[in-house]
């Protein structure tokens, strides 16, 4: 975490070297150290789907480490250097275990040279990570796909800054979660350099490679990149983006990053993809009728809740999805559509017909992306809004986003901020299985 090493180190558990402290996904991530900065230099050949990488990690050890681990997918590792010296390593089962020539303590660097054909990580939620498109590539890493393209400490609470350099065929546009700082051509290739200075979780880093046309979104910081054939339809579908941004800033406070990139791939996607300062949609989400505008709102809201405020453990997923879903209802209300109360009544009836076997504040790894987490999370916020009143409720949301900007958050922290006088309401919505009545 750039500029915040004490906070970073204090936030990490002291578990086994090749496991994290996450209650749902302890096998992803590693203990004993935290990463401040990733410098990734990637060469990607689109046709053969071949990635050659050099990753330099600047990390901080909690105590002297005789060995440590990184998460990395099915690449061939050529060498590993620790503080410039060759280190021993083994690589199997998604773990790169490193043994430096002498224990490292305090700040140290790790350089990994690797190459191979990147492919998604198989998970219970399907394949996630680096994936080939019909013509190009995309990265959709939530929740465990980051090791599919770079060596990392793949845990939620280890947020770092990034510099990502990608060289590929000159005919393609490269978009990375960050601000473009350099672009240069050399023969048949072009190199793109992006910087992400804000602390970022590994799963929120993304690379998009394709044949894209630039589409301004009406504000200096926001741009869309779309297939040329969809430019006209996308211009209409995204035409209200400046108003959406203004509305969400009114609800949640200033947009937390230096830029926002909205990418539409030329392939269809089941669901949009969130990344830090970026959202990715499929061609099927663009129809020239604003059919999927609520998804545009949802992904933009994640920039506050999920990206700037990143959950400290996957069991707190409602703090991401409940807030982003409620943002959809707020935008509907603000733009002259159905009120948030109407959305709440509809979804309360739907959720009431489903099994009452989910605890929102700890839904379990199987239910991580269950629709009840999204909708009951939004219903919880609406119930809080009704109890607290609009003035207090929206002040709470802005304070929540501001006080934890670029940090890691938990449900208990939100409860503490909300106040003791609403604890009974939030207890029923968050920690009990039965669905409370909706006032």
Q: Is the predicted pLDDT of residue 169 greater than 70, yes or no? A: yes
pLDDT of residue 77: 98
Q: What mean pLDDT is predicted for residues 412-426?
A: 98
pLDDT tens-digit map of 264-308: 999 999 999 999 999 999 999 999 999 999 999 999 999 999 999
Q: Is the predicted pLDDT of residue 8 greater than 80, yes or no? A: no
pLDDT of residue 3: 34
Q: Is the predicted pLDDT of residue 164 greater than 90, yes or no? A: yes
pLDDT tens-digit map of 229-264: 999 999 999 999 999 999 999 999 999 999 999 999
pLDDT of residue 17: 81
Structure-model confidence comparison of residues 5 and 394, the more confident one: 394
Q: CA geometry: angle at 318 spanning 237 and 95, to 5°?
A: 95
CATH topology of domain 5-210: Immunoglobulin-like (2.60.40)
pLDDT of residue 144: 96
Q: What mean pLDDT is predicted for residues 5-11?
A: 33
- What is the spatial distance between Cα 306 and Cα 304, in angstroms, rounded to a whole number? 6
Judge contact between 173 and 146, C-beta under 8 A: no
CATH topology of domain 213-301: Zincin-like (3.30.2010)
Q: Output the average pLDDT for the chain.
A: 95
Q: Is the predicted pLDDT of residue 353 greater than 50, yes or no? A: yes
Torsion of the alpha carbons at 153, 157, 161 and 163, rounded to the nearest 10:
40
Percent of the chain with pLDDT over 90: 94
51: left (phi over 0), alpha (psi -120 to 50) or beta: beta
Domain 310-431 classification at class level: mainly alpha
Q: What mean pLDDT is predicted for residues 21-32?
A: 94
- What is the spatial distance between Cα 118 and Cα 138, in angstroms, rounded to a whole number? 11
- What is the spatial distance between Cα 181 and Cα 303, in angstroms, rounded to a whole number? 21
Q: Is the predicted pLDDT of residue 367 greater than 50, yes or no? A: yes
Structure-model confidence comparison of residues 246 and 18, the more confident one: 246
**What's the pLDDT band for 337 if we cut at 50, 70, 90?**
very high
Percent of the chain with pLDDT over 70: 96
> What is the total residue count of the chain?
439
pLDDT of residue 16: 53
pLDDT of residue 177: 96
- What is the spatial distance between Cα 204 and Cα 156, in angstroms, rounded to a whole number? 10
Q: Is the predicted pLDDT of residue 7 greater than 90, yes or no? A: no
**What's the pLDDT band for 227 if we cut at 50, 70, 90?**
very high
Q: CA geometry: angle at 54 spanning 140 and 406, to 5°?
A: 50
Q: What mean pLDDT is predicted for residues 7-34?
A: 73
Ranges of each domain in the chain:
5-210, 213-301, 310-431
pLDDT of residue 263: 98
- Record the tokens describing residue 290, joined without a space: 């604003």
Question: Over the Cα atoms of the chain, what is R_g?
Answer: 22
Structure-model confidence comparison of residues 134 and 11, the more confident one: 134
- What is the spatial distance between Cα 156 and Cα 409, in angstroms, rounded to a whole number? 10
Confidence (pTM)? 0.94
Q: Is the predicted pLDDT of residue 2 greater than 80, yes or no? A: no
Residue 58: other Cβ atoms inside 10 A: 16
Do the two domains 213-301 and 310-431 of this chain adopt the same fold?
no
- What is the spatial distance between Cα 91 and Cα 71, in angstroms, rounded to a whole number? 9
């Amino acid at each position: 975490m750039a500029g915040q090493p004490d906070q970073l180190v204090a936030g990490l558990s002291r578990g086994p070297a090749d496991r994290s402290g996450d209650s749902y996904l302890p096998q992803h991530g590693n203990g004993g150290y935290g990463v401040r900065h990733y410098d990734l230099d990637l060469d990607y050949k689109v046709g053969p789907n071949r990635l050659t990488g050099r990753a330099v990690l600047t990390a901080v050890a909690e105590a002297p480490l005789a060995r440590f681990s990184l998460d990395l997918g099915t690449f061939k590792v050529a060498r590993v250097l620790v503080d410039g010296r060759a280190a021993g390593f083994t690589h199997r089962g998604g773990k790169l275990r490193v043994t430096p020539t002498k224990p490292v303590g305090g700040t140290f660097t790790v350089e990994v040279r690797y190459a191979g054909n990147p492919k998604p990580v198989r998970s219970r939620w399907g394949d996630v990570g680096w994936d080939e498109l019909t013509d190009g590539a995309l990265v959709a890493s939530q929740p465990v796909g980051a090791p599919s393209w770079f060596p990392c400490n793949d845990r939620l609470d280890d947020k770092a800054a990034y510099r990502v350099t990608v060289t590929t065929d000159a005919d393609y546009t490269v978009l990375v979660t960050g601000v473009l700082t350099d672009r240069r051509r050399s023969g048949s290739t072009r190199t793109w350099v992006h910087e992400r200075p804000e602390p970022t979780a590994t799963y929120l880093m993304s690379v998009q490679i394709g044949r894209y046309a630039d589409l301004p979104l009406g504000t200096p910081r926001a741009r869309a990149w779309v297939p040329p054939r969809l430019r006209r339809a996308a211009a209409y579908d995204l035409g209200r983006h400046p108003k959406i941004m203004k509305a969400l800033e009114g609800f949640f406070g200033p947009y937390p990053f230096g830029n926002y990139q909205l990418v539409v791939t030329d392939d269809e996607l089941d669901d949009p993809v969130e990344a830090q300062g970026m959202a990715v949609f499929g061609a099927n989400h663009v129809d020239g009728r604003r059919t999927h505008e609520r998804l545009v709102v949802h992904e933009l809201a994640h920039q506050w809740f999920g990206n700037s405020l990143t959950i400290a453990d996957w069991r707190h997923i409602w703090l991401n999805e409940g807030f982003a879903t409620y943002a959809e209802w707020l935008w509907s209300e603000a733009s002259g559509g159905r009120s948030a109360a109407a959305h709440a009544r509809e979804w309360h009836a739907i959720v009431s017909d489903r099994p009452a076997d989910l605890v929102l504040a700890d839904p379990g790894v199987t239910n991580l992306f269950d629709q009840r987490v999204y909708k009951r999370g939004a219903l919880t916020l609406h119930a809080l809004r009704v109890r607290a009143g609009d003035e207090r409720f929206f002040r709470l949301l802005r304070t929540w986003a501001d006080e934890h900007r670029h940090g890691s958050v938990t449900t208990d922290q939100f409860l503490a901020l909300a106040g003791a006088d609403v604890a009974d309401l939030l207890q029923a919505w968050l920690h009990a299985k039965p669905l409370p009545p909706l006032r």
